[in-house]
Chain A
Amino acid sequence: MVLDVNAFIGKWPYWPVSISSPGDVAQKLPEWGIERACICSTRSLFVNWDDGNIEVGRAAREYPECFIPFACLGTFELSHRIGSHIHDLALCRAQGFRGIRLYPQHHSFHPLFESFVDVICEQAAALRFPVLLSMRAIMNWGVPSLDLSSMFGLIERHPRVPWILSGVNYLHEIRASVAYLKKYETVHLETSCVMGYEAIRKLVEECGHEQILFGSAAPIQHGRANLEKILHARISDIARESICCSNARRLLQL
C-alpha cells in the first residue's frame, strides 16, 4: 500500500500536463503504484482557495477509495475588504477534510505576520489536524517558494501542530528540516522534492523513519519516478513501509 500525502487535482498553468481531472488522476496514480493520495486542487493555489476546496470535496466523494481531501486555506483579505472572517477547522473536519495545506508563497501573505495563520495553527494543534506547509509546490526554480526562516519560524511558534514540511529540496533546507524533525516529534517531512543522492537513507539514519512521509506532487511531477527513490533507498523494509503508508495512516488517524 502506498499512500501519497501530497498530490493534486486540477490544471497546471505553466506548461501542458495531460492529467488534471479527478478521474484522470484517480486512474493514473495506481498506474504509478500509488493507491491513495491526499489531494488539494491547483485551483486553490492559482485562482481561489475556497473554490479549489469545493472541487476537492467533490472529487473525494466521487473517488473515496483513492482520494483523501485536504483543504487549502488562505487569507480572507480582498482588495475591497478587510479579512475579518475566521477559519473554522472543526467545520473543515466535519466537511470531510483530513488536513490543511498552506501555500503562503501563492497567496500573498507572510505566515508570521497574519493572525489568521495563528488561528489555524491553534485549532490544528487542539484538533491534531495535520497542516502541510509548502516551501514549493513542485521542484522547479520558476515557481514561487517560501523562505526557510518563515517556515521554521511558524513551526517554532506552534510546535504542537502536526506539521508536514513539503517541497523541501536544497541541502541546507534538508539540514534545517532534520533539525526540526529531531526537535519536535510533531514535525514530519514529505518527500516530493527530496531529490538528493542517498537522501532518503540519510534522513532515516539521522531521524528514524516515523516522521518521513511519501509525497509525490503528482500528477504535475512524475509519480512513479518519485516513488522509485523510496523503493530503491537502502533502508529497512519496515522503514520503507512506514514511509510509504503507515506513518501517514497514523498521522491522518485513518
Chain B
Amino acid sequence: MMIDAHVHIGKSTRLQIDVDGEHLVRVADEIGFEKICCTDLTALFYDMHEGNRLLYEEMRKFPDRIIGYASLHSTRFGEEALQELERCANDYGMRGLKIYSTPQMTIAEPATIPILEKTVDLGFPILAHATPLECEYLMAAVPECRLMMAHAAAQPYAHGDWNRAIMAAKRYPNLYLETASSTIDTGFLETCVRELGPEKIIFGTDIPLLDPYFQLSKVSDTNVAADGLKKILGGNILRLMGLA
C-alpha cells in the first residue's frame, strides 16, 4: 500500500494552487496511492478553523482515501489552537498536525511547546516544515512527540540540507524525515536508510505543488531493500498515525 504523507488541498495564490479532493484522488489513482494525507492551505496560512473545516468536508467525500492533518497557521494562538486540535481529532477524525516555519516567524519558540504536548495526548504525529535546528529545539523540549521533518530539510529555509537533517534525526529517536522536495540528489534515500534505518523515513510528494512522478522515482528507483521501501512508502506513516 502506497501512502502519500504530504499533500495539500485548497487554495493558495502564492503557491498557485486551487484543488479539491476529487482532483487529488484522481491523481492518487493515476499513480497508485491508496491514501493521501492532506493539509488545507487556508488552515496552514490564514484561518485554522475555516481551513480545517473545509478539509473535513473533503474527508467526508473520500473517507477511505483522504487522511487529514489538522493545520495551524501559527502556534501562537494558545488555548484557541489547543481547542482546534481537539476539534480536529474528536469531531473531524484527523490523524496528525501540520505546522509551518519561516525565518521571520519561527515555530522554534516556547509558544509551540503546549501544541506539541497536546499532540502527544492526541496521538498525533506532526509534519513540520522546519529546519533541522528548529526540529532539534522542538524535540529537546518535548522528546516524546513524534515529529516528521517535512522535506527532510530540503526546503528553502533549511537550504536543502538533508545531511544536517540526518544528523538531527540520529540524535532524537522520535524525529523522522519526510521525503517530498524539489531536490532529487543521487544517494539521498540510500544515505537516509543507511544512517537512520527505513523506519524513520516517510514518503511524501507535496502534490499539487511538485510533480509526483519524480518524487516516487527518487524513492522507488533506488537500491533500498523491498521490505524497507514498503515501510517508507506507507507502513511508517500508518504506524505513526495509529492506523497500522
Contacts and interface: CB of A to CB of B under 8 A. Distances in A.
Given A195-B214, A197-B211, A228-B214, A17 B186 contact: yes
Contacts of B187: 15-18
A143 B16 CA distance: 25
Report whether over half of chain A's contact residues are helix, strand or loop; otherwise say mixed. Answer: loop
B218 A225 contact: yes
B232 to A, nearest CB: 15
Nearest to A15: B163
Interface in B156-189: 156, 158-161, 163, 182-188
A142 B153 CA distance: 11
B85 interface: no
B214 A229 contact: yes
Nearest to B221: A224
A95 interface: no
B133 interface: no
What's the interface size class on B, roughly? 20 to 34
A150 to B, nearest CB: 20
Contact of B211 (A19, A199, A219): A199
Nearest to A201: B211
Contacts of A199: 211
Interface in B45-88: none
Contacts of A169: 182
A142 B210 contact: no
Contact of B221 (A140, A196, A222): A222
Interface string B30-43: 00000000000000
A140 B207 contact: no
Contacts of A220: 185-186
Given A218-B186, A220-B185, A220-B186, A140 B211 contact: no
A221 B211 contact: no
Given A17-B187, A140-B183, A229 B156 contact: no
Interface in A1-24: 15-19
Contacts of A229: 211, 213-214
Q: Could you say which of A218, A222, A231 has the most chain B C-beta atoms within 10 Å of its C-beta?
A: A222
Interface residues of A, number: 34
A219 B163 CA distance: 18
A29 to B, nearest CB: 12
B183 A225 contact: no
A141 B211 contact: no
B212 interface: yes
A139 B218 CA distance: 14
Contacts of A193: 182
A199 B212 CA distance: 11
A171 interface: yes
A225 B214 CA distance: 4
A228 B214 CA distance: 6
Interface string A214-240: 000011111111101101100000000
A139 B207 CA distance: 18
A221 B212 contact: no
B154 to A, nearest CB: 7
Contacts of A141: 155-156, 158-160
Contact of B185 (A222, A224, A232): A222
B160 A222 contact: no
Contact of B161 (A17, A18, A142, A171): A142
A222 B213 CA distance: 12
Given A139-B183, A140-B160, A225 B217 contact: yes
Nearest to A194: B211
Contact of B210 (A138, A143, A196, A218): A196
27 contacts: A15-B185, A15-B187, A17-B187, A18-B186, A138-B183, A139-B160, A139-B183, A140-B154, A140-B160, A141-B155, A141-B158, A142-B159, A142-B160, A142-B161, A193-B182, A195-B211, A197-B207, A197-B209, A221-B184, A221-B185, A222-B188, A222-B214, A222-B218, A223-B186, A224-B217, A228-B216, A229-B213
